[in-house]
Structure 1
Amino acid sequence: MTGLRERKKRRTRGALIRVAHELIVTRGYDDTTVDQIADAVDVSQRTFFRYFSSKEEVALALQDETEAGFYEAVRDRPAQESPIRALRNALDATWDHFGEAITEIVPIGLYMRMWQVIETTPSLLAAHLRRSTETEARLAALLTAREGLSPDDRRPRVLVASFTGVMRAAGREWGEGEDVTVEAARRTMDTYLDLMAPALSDGWSRR
């Protein structure tokens, strides 16, 4: 059973994330400060830094958690699935449980608007891509171990780079649109991933 102190810490962390999202969505990332976030939650700057090392970290906290959930979903896929099928099924599983984890901290609509801000703010997008590189390396290592491959085998890295690159391209298209719903994001990503194999084939139809 979670103790009172731990529950209080989780509430404070959640409040900092929620307020950071609200301020960034309303004012923009560059015009939001750590002091504004801390003041809105009625905590000191020192308390803020107990939970997050920077404004960047609090802004990307839920994105980091979503990526961690995707990694865990890949890890839990049945061994008989091919690597590409494991990635795709893990993504589907992550989408299915997506709302439950997010809404414990922020309303889903706020999360989706924040995701759109990340996709359309160069400095924040660059930070997100830098952090995502670590997840991609872990995924490649996971697939290498899962398939019993040599560490020198480049196929897991190529597959993960292709898969996550397609997801990023879909995210950019979705982020530039007007429909910020979960359904629209998932639909766009599914459309892109469905085109992945045909796009990598030798023959392209010129219809």
Structure 2
Amino acid sequence: MAAQLTRPATDPSCRVLGLRERKKQRTRDALVDAAHQLFLSQGYARTTVDEIAAAVDVSQRTFFRYFANKDEVALAILADAEDHFVANLGARPATENPLQALRNAIVQTWRELGTARETTGSSSITAALELLQLIEDTPTLLAAHLRRITEQERIVAGILAEREGLDPAADLRPKVLAAVFGGVLRSAHLSWSAGDAPVGDAGPEGMITIIESHFDQLGPALAGDWR
């Protein structure tokens, strides 16, 4: 029998690796936060990679170890939230139909991010809400964001197909529903950016209210008699 190569948890090298990974995560988070603050204070176009790196006291080379370009660091906050949503969608119970799973997963995601802010002091949820407005005001970011939405639709369609035991190449329903979901969510985000959040609630619960109101109209919009 081959020798077991897995290091025990008490091996010092395991602890070093854990420390190294935590340090890398802190550097990444610091770059994301610095970039976000610079984008909000002086605009996306006027902010350079050098300025972002300098704000964290790292080199430009270090920046590019974490992000390919300015677009990627700008959208990192939403990318993390999207990854959280995908994980939540994959974990939704099989008793929910696909639309219920999508709706519950996105509401769960916003609510969990909001709870994390309250319990840890994290500003990620506030930054995500601010970023939605920045995206709409910045054509370069909007184009990159729309590309990400397209990729997310592909991932969501795959999850839905797997949940329902379908072949997405032969059954178009997962792709169609993923596209509809993406459209409803974008419409909700645009409403939030336009200031349609409930009075006094511009945080995650305000966003959830807008998202749910849009989903409430999905059935009537698709099947209802508009006249």
- Give the TM-score, by structure 2 length: 0.83
Residue 30 (structure 1) aligns with: 45
Q: Matches of residues 65-144 of structure 1 in structure 2 within 5 Å?
A: 65-100=80-115, 106=123, 108-144=125-161
Higher mean Cα deviation, 155-164 or 103-112?
103-112
Residue 62 (structure 1) aligns with: 77
Q: Could you tell me how far apart the structure 2 residues matched to 1:67 and 1:172 are?
A: 17
Divergent runs of 4+, >6 A: none
Letter in 2 for 1:5: R
- Give the TM-score, by structure 1 length: 0.90
Residue 205 (structure 2) aligns with: 183
State the structure with more CA Rg.
Answer: 2
**Residue 172 of structure 1 aligns to a residue in which SS?**
helix
Q: Matches of residues 8-27 of structure 1 in structure 2 within 5 Å?
A: 8-27=23-42
- Let me know the Cα RMSD of the aligned residues: 2.0
Q: Could you tell me how far apart the structure 1 residues matched to 2:131 and 2:55 are?
A: 18
Q: Could you tell me how far apart the structure 2 residues matched to 1:8 and 1:193 are?
A: 40
1:192 matched to 2:214? The reply is: yes
Determine which structure has greater relative contact order: mean sequence separation of CA pairs < 8 Å that are 6+ residues apart, divided by chain length: 1
Q: Could you tell me how far apart the structure 1 residues matched to 2:124 and 2:78 are?
A: 14
Give the deviation of 1:120 after TM superposition.
2.8
Q: Could you tell me how far apart the structure 2 residues matched to 1:132 and 1:104 are?
A: 28
Decide whether the 8 Å contact of 2:107 with 2:208 is kept in 1.
no
Point out where structure 1 has 5 or more consecutive residues left out of the alignment. Answer: none
Give the deviation of 1:144 after TM superposition.
0.9
